[in-house]
Structure formats: C-alpha cells, structure tokens
C-alpha cells in the first residue's frame, strides 16, 4: 500500500506537538492550568491531523505524486506516511483525544491525567501513521505501557492487564520474526493471529477489557480501546500474510465473540461492564468483516471501524458525564434520571442508537455493507450478524430505561450536562448523522482502501493462493 509524504509535514507536527505537550503539562502542579494547556496542545494536534488528512485527499484529487519528504531527508526512508487506510483514522484519533479532554469536568481533572493522555496520543498517532512492520510492533508495545502505569498510579490490580498485554507483545514479536524467517509453513502467521485476537478482546481472552474498564479512569479507558489498534495491526501485519483458512478461524472466533458479548451486554448489572461488552461485540464485528476479505465486506468493515470509534466514544462520554454526577451506576433498578438531566438522556439515546446502526447514521450504512458481504459469502454469517445487531440494540435501549425512566431522582443542585460535554457528544453525533445522510465520500474512500488491501494481499500470497484469491475476488 503506497504511502504519501505531504509537502507540509502535518502528521509529524501532530506527533511532535503531542510529545511536547505531554512534557510541558507534566511540569504544572495546578490541575486547572495543566488542563487548559493540555487542551490547547491536543486541540492543535487534532488540527494538524485534520490538515494531514485533507492534504492527502487534495494531493490524490490533483494527481500529485510526491517523493522524498522530511523523513527521507532525515532517515533515508519513509517510516511514517499517509495512505487511503490511515488518512481518516489519524483525524479520528486526534478528534477523540481532543473531545475527551474537552469533556473532562472539574471533578475528573485530578483523575484524568492530561499529560499521560498527550503522551499516549503521540504514540497512538505514530502507530496509525506507521507502515514499517518492526517499528509498528515497537509502537504497539509502547501503547500498552501508559495504561499499565495508570493502573499502578491508581493502586488498581494490574495482573489481568499485564498478563494479556505481555502475551500480546510476545506473540506479536515472535510471530513477525517467524514470518520474516526463511521457514516455509502454513502456521507461521498463527502467533500473529493469536496476538491480534488477544488485543481485540476476542473470547476467551476478553476479560482484560472488562477489567480495564472497571479499574481505569473512564476517559483513558475509552482512548486506549476506541481507535481499535488491534484491527490496524491485523490489516498491516496479518491480512497480507495469513492464508485463507487462518482468516476463516479469525472470523469464526470473532463471530462467536460478537454473539456472546452482545448477549452479555443485555444482562449486565453494571454500566461499565455493559459498555465493555458492547465494545467487544462491535470490535469483533469489524474483524468478521475483515476475515471475509471481499471488496464489499472489507469496505463495510473499514466504514464500521470509523463508525464504532465515533459512536461508542460518544456513548462512553455520555456515560462518563453520568458518572461525574451520580457516581458509578447499576442496571438493577430504575434511576429516573431524565428529569434531572434531560439533555444527557437525549445524548445517551442518540449515541446508543447510532452505535448499533440506527437507520440514517453511518453505522447503518457500514453494517449493511458488512451484512451484504457476509450473506454473499456465507449466508449463516449474515444471519448471525443481524442477531448481534438486534441484541446490541436491545442492550442499549434496556440501559436507557434503567437509567432514565422510573421514579424521579431528587436533587438540590443542577445536574444538567455542561456545555463542553454537550459539544463533545453532539460533535460525534453530528459526524455520524452526516455520514449516514451523505455516505458516498466516506464509503468511496473505504472502498479504495479495501481494494489496496486486497491487492497487497494478493501480491504477497504464494502463487497458487494468489491465483485462487484473484478468481474468488473477481467472482464476488
């Protein structure tokens, strides 16, 4: 997949700004001052990622072929670049970090470390911009360190997280070393596949996700999982080298996980665990679309990836705002919070329905593409995907009824959603609704990325498998 070095290094500027911001903010002792400076740094970094994304599409529209760039002059090769796959993802990562910081209330400022958030943003942006396999593996490893340190700083148990992430790193390094060796075996990519399944929270290696959401601050918990770094690693490292039968096993494991997690989301009694299972289910749906590796299903999976990141982030920020006012909530009794926070109820319902693919949203378009691709390839997989969507919808509506209906919640102070929280959630909702009303540009971009991914896979497969893949792709 060809990458483009832009004439203005906006992407590199975003990474450097996030690092400088982390170092600068860490020197402040006043939480309010640190928050304001951190918000400014993450806002400017987001603008740089947006300009990088727009610059890529303008260069492609004008047919500009760029060579060289700052990285080539410094290192002699292009390690970080922008292509059809990661151009919008970089902007999404920057946006999520900025809106999460923007929606952080005064009560959360001491628990949400803005300096660690900026450091994580720098690593995450570098990860999504990286195309060199070994550098990508190093960055994926680095991404797991700030969450571990947060758990330590909060005096929370780290064993579950450390065990899963340690196994993820070992399998990732060992798997890529086997792929680059001179050995010839159909099982070379198996450790890589196992690493991706662990990182994406595929059952039975999903317990680290629920443990992470229960013990971490909600803001950092969202930022660590929502960009779906495991899916990016799967596309860059696994999809080009894994044989078809191994991708089928990924699809089976992901489909089982999606059904299981959606069922678990329906019966959860704690809000955070409900949200964790909702995330696991949607992340597994993206992997199912990747496994089918046809143009339609892959386009749907890439579109669903962006939809899930935006919708679940908005849903999570709404739950975070509820926690800031009412503490950790359960789904065992009716709390009747609508009268106290009607705007929060509206935001909760909008983002909840958006994340399960309500008609008129980007999630609906993406889910339709995934289901159409699945039905064309394997009809029973399509039926299972519809079941998952139905269960996730039931879970979201059930949570709404428990939280906002029932006897009126009595309070002597105003519990309305703040302007910054409202702006963050509604921005994400507007993007999802706009993507649903005018889906053509986004779908066209994801289709071009899907074609490039399929071409790279066909180029790296052994001759016989490549010929079969070309015939299969042409037939579908």
* 123 and 141 assigned to the same domain: no
Mean pLDDT of 198-210: 91
More confident residue, 353 or 407: 353
As a whole number of Å, the CA-based R_g of the chain is 21
Q: Is the pLDDT score of 476 beyond 50?
A: no
Same domain flag for 408 and 360? yes
Q: Residue 336: left (phi > 0), alpha (psi -120 to 50), or beta?
A: left
Which range among 11-20, 153-162, 317-326 shows the weakest confidence by mean pLDDT? 317-326
State the pLDDT at residue 232.
94
Domain end marker among 130, 155, 178: 130
Q: What pLDDT is attached to residue 367? A: 87
Would you say the C-alpha torsion 342, 344, 346, 352 has a positive or negative sign? negative
Give the pLDDT score at 473.
Answer: 46
- Per-residue pLDDT averaged across 434-457, rounded? 88
Q: Residue 291's pLDDT is what?
A: 80
Distance (Å, whole) CA 183 – CA 311: 43
Pair 33, 139 in one domain: no
Grade residue 211 by pLDDT with cuts at 50, 70 and 90. Answer: very high
pLDDT for 411 equals 56
My answer on whether 178 and 76 are in the same domain is: no
Share of the chain above pLDDT 90, in %: 39
Statement to judge: residues 120 and 173 lie in one domain:
no
60: number of Cβ within 10 Å = 17
Which H or E run includes 408? none
pLDDT tens by residue, 360-372 = 888 888 888 888 8
Together in a domain, 183 and 80: no
pLDDT of residue 354: 84
Write b or e for each residue in 109-131: b if 16 or more Cβ atoms lie within 10 A of its Cβ, otherwise e: bebbbbbbbbbbbbbbbbbbbbb
Has residue 470 got a pLDDT over 60? no
Could you give the maximum distance between any two Cα atoms of the chain, in Å? Answer: 72
- Torsional class of 60: left (φ above 0), alpha (ψ -120 to 50), beta (otherwise): alpha
* One domain for residues 121 and 243: no
Three-state helix/strand/coil letters over 123-192: HHHHHHHECCHHHHHHHHHHHCHHHHHHHHHCCCCCHHHHHHHHHHHHHHHHHHHHHHCCCCCCCCCHHH
Beta-carbon-side half-sphere exposure of residue 82 (alpha carbons within 13 Å): 29
Quick one: average pLDDT of 416-432?
Answer: 83
Q: Of 130, 149, 167, which residue sits at a domain end?
A: 130
Which pTM does this prediction carry? 0.89
If asked whether residues 166 and 210 sit together in one domain, one would say yes
Query: Domain ends where: 104, 130, 156?
Result: 130
171 pLDDT tier (thresholds 50, 70, 90): very high
Look at residue 469 and tell me whether its pLDDT is greater than 50. Answer: no
Same domain membership, residue 183 and residue 198:
yes
Q: How confident is the model at residue 467 (pLDDT cuts 50, 70, 90)?
A: very low
Task: Identify the pLDDT of residue 458.
Answer: 81
What's CA 242's distance to the chain center, in Å? 22
DSSP-assigned letter for residue 106? G
Check whether residue 265 and residue 405 sit in a common domain.
yes
Confidence of residue 7 (pLDDT cuts 50, 70, 90): low
**Bond into 204 cis (ω within 30):** yes
> Tell me: the pLDDT tens digits for 379-396?
888 888 889 999 999 999
Cβ atoms of 265 and 421 closer than 8 Å: no
Q: Are residues 186 and 123 in the same domain?
A: no
Asked if residue 475 has pLDDT above 60, the reply is no
Which pLDDT score is estimated for 351? 85
Among 262, 283, 307, 275, CA closest to 442 = 307
Distance in angstroms (rounded) separating the CA atoms of residues 421 and 264: 29
The range of the structural domain enclosing residue 25 comes to 1-130
- Decide: 157 and 212 in contact? Cβ < 8 Å: no
Mean pLDDT of the chain: 84
Mean pLDDT of 260-289: 92
Our count of domains for the chain comes to 2
List the one residue out of 278, 285, 279, 317 whose CA is nearest residue 303: 285
Mean pLDDT on 319-337: 86
pLDDT at site 409:
57
Q: Are residues 158 and 257 in the same domain?
A: yes
């Amino acid at each position: 997949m060809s990458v483009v070095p832009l004439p203005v290094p906006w992407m590199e500027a975003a990474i450097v700004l996030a690092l400088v911001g982390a170092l600068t903010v860490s020197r402040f002792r006043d939480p309010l001052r640190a928050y304001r400076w951190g918000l400014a740094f993450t806002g400017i970094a987001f603008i740089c990622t947006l300009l990088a994304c727009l610059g890529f599409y303008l260069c492609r529209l004008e047919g500009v072929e760029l060579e060289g760039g700052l990285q080539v002059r410094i290192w002699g090769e292009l390690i970080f670049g922008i292509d059809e796959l990661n151009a919008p993802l970089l902007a999404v990562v920057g946006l999520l970090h900025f809106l999460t910081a923007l929606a952080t209330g005064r009560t959360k400022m001491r628990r949400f470390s803005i300096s660690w958030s900026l450091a994580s943003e720098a690593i995450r942006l570098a990860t999504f911009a990286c195309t060199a396999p070994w550098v990508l593996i190093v960055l994926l490893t680095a991404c797991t360190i700030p969450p571990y340190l947060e758990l330590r700083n909060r005096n929370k148990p780290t064993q579950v997280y450390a065990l899963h992430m340690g196994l993820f790193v070992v399998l990732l390094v060992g798997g890529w070393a086997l792929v680059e060796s001179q050995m010839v075996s159909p099982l070379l990519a198996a450790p890589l596949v196992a690493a991706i399944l662990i990182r994406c929270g595929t059952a039975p290696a999903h317990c680290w996700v629920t443990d992470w959401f229960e013990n971490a601050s909600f803001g950092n918990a969202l930022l660590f999982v929502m960009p779906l770094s495991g899916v990016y690693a799967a596309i860059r490292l696994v999809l080009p080298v894994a044989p078809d039968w191994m991708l089928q096993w990924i699809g089976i494991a992901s489909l089982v996980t999606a059904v299981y997690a959606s069922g678990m989301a329906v019966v959860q009694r704690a809000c955070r665990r409900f949200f964790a299972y909702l995330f696991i289910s949607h992340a597994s749906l993206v992997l199912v679309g990747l496994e089918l590796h046809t143009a339609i299903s892959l386009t749907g999976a890439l579109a669903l990836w962006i939809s899930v990141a935006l919708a679940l982030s908005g849903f999570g920020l709404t739950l975070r705002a509820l926690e800031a006012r009412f503490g950790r909530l359960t789904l065992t009794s009716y709390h009747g919070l609508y009268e106290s926070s009607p705007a929060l109820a509206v935001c909760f319902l909008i983002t909840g329905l958006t994340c399960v693919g309500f008609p008129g949203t980007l999630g609906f378009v993406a889910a339709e593409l995934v289901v159409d691709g699945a039905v064309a390839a394997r009809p029973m997989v399509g039926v299972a995907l519809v079941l998952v969507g139905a269960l996730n919808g039931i879970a979201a509506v059930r949570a709404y009824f428990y939280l906002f209906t029932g006897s009126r919640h009595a309070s002597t102070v105003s519990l309305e959603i703040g302007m910054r929280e409202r702006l963050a959630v509604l921005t994400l909702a507007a993007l999802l609704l706009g993507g649903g009303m005018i889906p053509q540009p986004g779908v066209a971009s994801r289709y071009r990325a899907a074609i490039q991914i399929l071409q790279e896979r066909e180029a790296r497969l052994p001759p016989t498998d490549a010929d079969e893949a070309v015939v299969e792709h042409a037939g579908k």
